[in-house]
Amino acid sequence: MVLAELGGRIAQAMRSMTSKTVIDEEAVDNMLKEISSALLSSDVNVKLVSSLRKNVKNRINLEDLATGLNRRRMIQQAVFEELCEMLNPGKKPYQPKKGKPNVIMFVGLQGSGKTTSCTKYALHYQRKSWKTCLVCSDTFRAGAFDQLKQNATKARIPFYGSYTERDPVKIARDGVEMFKKEGQEIIIVDTSGRHKQEASLFEEMQQIAAAVEPDDIVFVLDSSIGQAAHDQATAFKEAVSVGSVIMTKLDGHAKGGGALSAVAATSSPIVFIGTGEHFDDFETFEVRSFVSRLLGLGDVGGLMNAIKDAGLDKQPELYQKLSQGVFTLRDMYEQFQNVMKMGPIGKVMSMIPGMSALMTKGREHESQERFKKFMTIMDSMTDDELDTENVNKIFTDTRVFRIAQGSGSHPQQVWELIEEFKRFQKMIAKMKHLKIGKNGEMPQMTRNPQQAMQQMGKCLDPRMLKQIGGMSGLQNLMKSMNGMDMSQFMGMPE
Ligand SMILES: Nc1nc2c(ncn2[C@@H]2O[C@H](COP(=O)(O)OP(=O)(O)OP(=O)(O)O)[C@@H](O)[C@H]2O)c(=O)[nH]1
């Protein structure tokens, strides 16, 4: 995506700065010039760019830098903080409360990705064990109810709508009432969109809002409209009390920087971003994490949250086994399942410092598919095979052939899986010394991010590792991170 390019250019400008021996005003100016031109070409508002340039310069104390006092960190930090400041809406979004109905109304122009985002939003909370449901009050576009129904059915989310009722206000009110009685916690109301900001659209929105009294109104915005986002967001905010924003299509070739900065300027916090048409292409938006990832610095805080959300930080049985150096194919299967729970591989990878720039969209899917294929193969194995510690002994050519037939794969793929497993097993054997937390928590790697990253490197899919130049490539990345106090940059949880 274009934003990744922007991040790459800014990171490059910062790197070129730190490789210089003499850091004088001219060097700082050159770096800022390059950063500004990168931001402008991503459509970020010119006024914002010029104030960022001024503020970064004010933050950098050249006298301190001249003494070589951790130059790299100070410069990175100044740029990082200013980018965060630029995107900071200065307002916190609504946080749904457990055990009560939270009515969330979605608004936006037609085609902005509203219906898709409603489902993604519902699924996001459903995965976190919230009771979520969908109400379709879009009676304007023929087929809107069918689309929502289809999405909801696919994601197994309860829904409400009508083919015969023409009054969107009545549908919204009835649906919300019904779901409130059912004890649903997140009740999402999808409203209709129009081609442009028309009075009738705003009137209908206001009537629905009055009928369902939403706890939050989410404005869905297509990022490809760039700086026009400012006017659109303002118009919607004036019509109804927009509390949060979801920005869609950030995966496209749009210059997303324009929309991002424009929305921040209207003081509407962005809560999620849409990065594709699939339900999984949806990410929580948090300014510091986003900027961190944009600059290829990773997002250790986000990574740890994803690990926690998937329950990976508390697996007493697994860690007990690991600490004894025991690892079987069944354990590997469970780990694959867990990693899948964390979301698309690409998303997880982009949280690892230095990785985002190296990820290409096609390859992410390739790795995900490879995981899935491996799981299908393991589904065709017997209990004895899954639980053995000695794969060399149990897998003969005949067995491998059978497993391949049973799972619709080639014997070569089964051997590949066995080789992968052996690699994992070897690594686990080295982890014997890990100390498990009292409550079975993950060994405390989080306090030492670099060590954690090294461990990650060992867990990488070999193809992915190859892509970044093998272990030595990874080491170079680690080296380039040296001297960086990551906890400062990434708001790491203590
Ligand atoms: N690439 C990409 N496509 C998206 C994203 N979000 C939605 N889309 C696509 O955008 C198109 C429009 O999305 P919808 O959800 O139907 O739009 P809508 O705003 O509900 O439209 P109305 O119901 O007519 O108001 C669909 O083809 C979606 O698949 C995204 O984040 N990235």
Kindly report the three-state secondary structure assignment for every residue of the chain.
Answer: CHHHHHHHHHHHHHHHHHCCCCCCHHHHHHHHHHHHHHHHHCCCCHHHHHHHHHHHHHHCCHHHHHCCCCHHHHHHHHHHHHHHHHHCCCCCCCCCCCCCCEEEEEECCCCCCHHHHHHHHHHHHHHCCCCEEEEECCCCCCCHHHHHHHHHHHCCCCEECCCCCCCHHHHHHHHHHHHHHCCCCEEEEECCCCCCCCHHHHHHHHHHHHHHCCCEEEEEEEHHHHHHHHHHHHHHHHHCCCCEEEEECCCCCCCCHHHHHHHHHCCCCEEEEECCCCCCCEEECCHHHHHHHHCCCCCHHHHHHHHHHCCCCECHHHHHHHHCCCCCHHHHHHHHHHHHHCCCHHHHHHCCCCCHHHCCHHHHHHHHHHHHHHHHHHHCCCHHHHHCCCHHHHCCHHHHHHHHHHCCCCHHHHHHHHHHHHHHHHHHHHCCCCCCCCCCECCCCCCCHHHHHHHHHHHCCHHHHHHCCHHHHHHHHHHHHCCCCHHHHHCCCC
CATH of range 300-490; options 1.10.1040.50, 3.30.930.10, 3.10.640.10, 1.10.260.30: 1.10.260.30
Lowest mean per-residue pLDDT among 158-172, 260-274, 365-379: 365-379
pLDDT at 482 over 50: no
CB proximity list for 362: less than 8 A, separation 6 or greater = none
Q: Is 249 in the pocket of ligand 1 (CB under 6 A)?
A: yes
In this prediction, residue 316 has a pLDDT band, given cuts at 50, 70 and 90, of low
Ligand 1, residue 192: give the atom nearest the CA.
25
In this prediction, residue 44 has a pLDDT band, given cuts at 50, 70 and 90, of confident
Bridge partner residues of 107 (DSSP): 219
Ligand 1, residue 220: give the atom nearest the CA.
19
Contact, 244 vs 219, CB < 8 A? Answer: yes
pLDDT at 317 over 80: no
- Mean pLDDT score of the chain, rounded to an integer? 78
State the pLDDT at residue 22.
Answer: 67
Name which of 190, 100, 192, 185 is nearest 139 in CA terms: 192
Contact, 249 vs 282, CB < 8 A? Answer: no
Q: Is 252 in the pocket of ligand 1 (CB under 6 A)?
A: yes
Nearest CA to ligand 1 atom 1: 276
Ligand 1 mean position, distance from CA 114 (Å): 6
Q: Is 276 in the pocket of ligand 1 (CB under 6 A)?
A: yes
Torsion of CA 356, 359, 362, 368, to 10 degrees: -80
Name which of 335, 307, 340 is nearest 321 in CA terms: 335
Ligand 1 mean position, distance from CA 189 (Å): 16
Ligand 1 mean position, distance from CA 116 (Å): 6
In whole angstroms, how far apart are CA 405 and each of 371, 373, 376, 381, 399? Answer: 18, 13, 11, 11, 10
- Please give the single-letter amino acid code of residue 148: L
State mean pLDDT over 51-55: 89
238-272 residue pLDDT tens: 899 999 999 999 877 667 788 888 888 788 899 99
Greatest mean pLDDT range, 17-26, 73-82, 87-96: 87-96
- Domain map (residue ranges) of the chain: 2-87, 102-294, 300-490
State mean pLDDT over 424-447: 56
Nearest CA to ligand 1 atom 24: 110
Residue whose CB lies within 8 A of the most ligand 1 atoms, among 141, 149, 277, for a mutation test: 277
Q: Is 277 in the pocket of ligand 1 (CB under 6 A)?
A: yes
State the pLDDT at residue 78.
Answer: 84
Greater confidence, 252 or 484? 252
Ligand 1 mean position, distance from CA 494 (Å): 38
State mean pLDDT over 129-154: 87
Ligand 1 mean position, distance from CA 223 (Å): 12
Q: Which two tokens stand for residue 490?
A: 């990434």
State the pLDDT at residue 358.
Answer: 43
pLDDT at 375 over 80: yes
| CA–CA dist 386, 108 (Å, integer) | 50
State mean pLDDT over 17-33: 76
State the pLDDT at residue 285.
Answer: 86
| CA–CA dist 223, 233 (Å, integer) | 11
pLDDT at 381 over 70: yes
Lowest mean per-residue pLDDT among 10-24, 97-111, 157-171, 414-428: 10-24
State the pLDDT at residue 485.
Answer: 35
pLDDT at 19 over 70: no
Ligand 1, residue 282: give the atom nearest the CA.
31
CB proximity list for 129: less than 8 A, separation 6 or greater = none
CATH 2.30.110.10, domain 102-294, yes or no: no
| CA–CA dist 63, 53 (Å, integer) | 19
Ligand 1 mean position, distance from CA 381 (Å): 41
Burial 303-312, CB ≥16 within 10 A → b, else e: bbbbbeebeb
Greater confidence, 437 or 118? 118
State the pLDDT at residue 197.
Answer: 64
pLDDT at 228 over 90: no
pLDDT at 446 over 70: no
Ligand 1 mean position, distance from CA 100 (Å): 29
Residue whose CB lies within 8 A of the most ligand 1 atoms, among 116, 272, 275, for a mutation test: 116
Lowest mean per-residue pLDDT among 274-278, 309-313, 331-335, 445-449: 445-449
Report the Cα 273 to chain-centroid distance in Å: 8
Name which of 108, 269, 270 is nearest 189 in CA terms: 108
188-208 residue pLDDT tens: 999 988 776 678 888 899 999
Nearest CA to ligand 1 atom 14: 113
In this prediction, residue 148 has a pLDDT band, given cuts at 50, 70 and 90, of confident
| CA–CA dist 45, 257 (Å, integer) | 8
CB proximity list for 280: less than 8 A, separation 6 or greater = 343, 344, 347
Ligand 1 mean position, distance from CA 57 (Å): 41
State the pLDDT at residue 119.
Answer: 93
Contact, 205 vs 199, CB < 8 A? Answer: no
State the pLDDT at residue 143.
Answer: 79
Greater confidence, 20 or 173? 173
Nearest CA to ligand 1 atom 26: 113
Q: Can you identify the CATH homologous superfamily of domain 2-87?
A: SRP54, nucleotide-binding domain (1.20.120.140)
Nearest CA to ligand 1 atom 10: 113
Nearest CA to ligand 1 atom 6: 113
Ligand 1, residue 194: give the atom nearest the CA.
25
262-309 residue pLDDT tens: 888 788 899 999 988 888 888 888 888 778 767 766 555 555 666 666
Ligand 1 mean position, distance from CA 321 (Å): 45
Q: Is 116 in the pocket of ligand 1 (CB under 6 A)?
A: yes
pLDDT at 168 over 80: yes
Kind of pairing between the strands at 244-248 and 270-274: parallel
Ligand 1 mean position, distance from CA 431 (Å): 46
Q: Is 146 in the pocket of ligand 1 (CB under 6 A)?
A: no
Bridge partner residues of 159 (DSSP): 134
Q: Is 124 in the pocket of ligand 1 (CB under 6 A)?
A: no
Ligand 1 mean position, distance from CA 248 (Å): 8
pLDDT at 117 over 70: yes
Q: Is 274 in the pocket of ligand 1 (CB under 6 A)?
A: yes
State the pLDDT at residue 413.
Answer: 93
Ligand 1 mean position, distance from CA 282 (Å): 12
pLDDT at 354 over 50: no
State the pLDDT at residue 431.
Answer: 59
Name which of 367, 372, 362 is nearest 345 in CA terms: 367
Bridge partner residues of 247 (DSSP): 221, 273
Q: Predicted ipTM?
A: 0.96
Q: Is 346 in the pocket of ligand 1 (CB under 6 A)?
A: no
User: On the CB side of 120, how many CA atoms lie within 13 Å of its CA?
Assistant: 25
State mean pLDDT over 450-466: 57
Kind of pairing between the strands at 216-222 and 186-190: unpaired
Greater confidence, 158 or 341? 158
State the pLDDT at residue 102.
Answer: 97
Burial degree of 181 (CB within 10 A; 0-12, 13-18, 19+) = exposed
Name which of 283, 352, 279, 269 is nearest 94 in CA terms: 269
State the pLDDT at residue 286.
Answer: 83
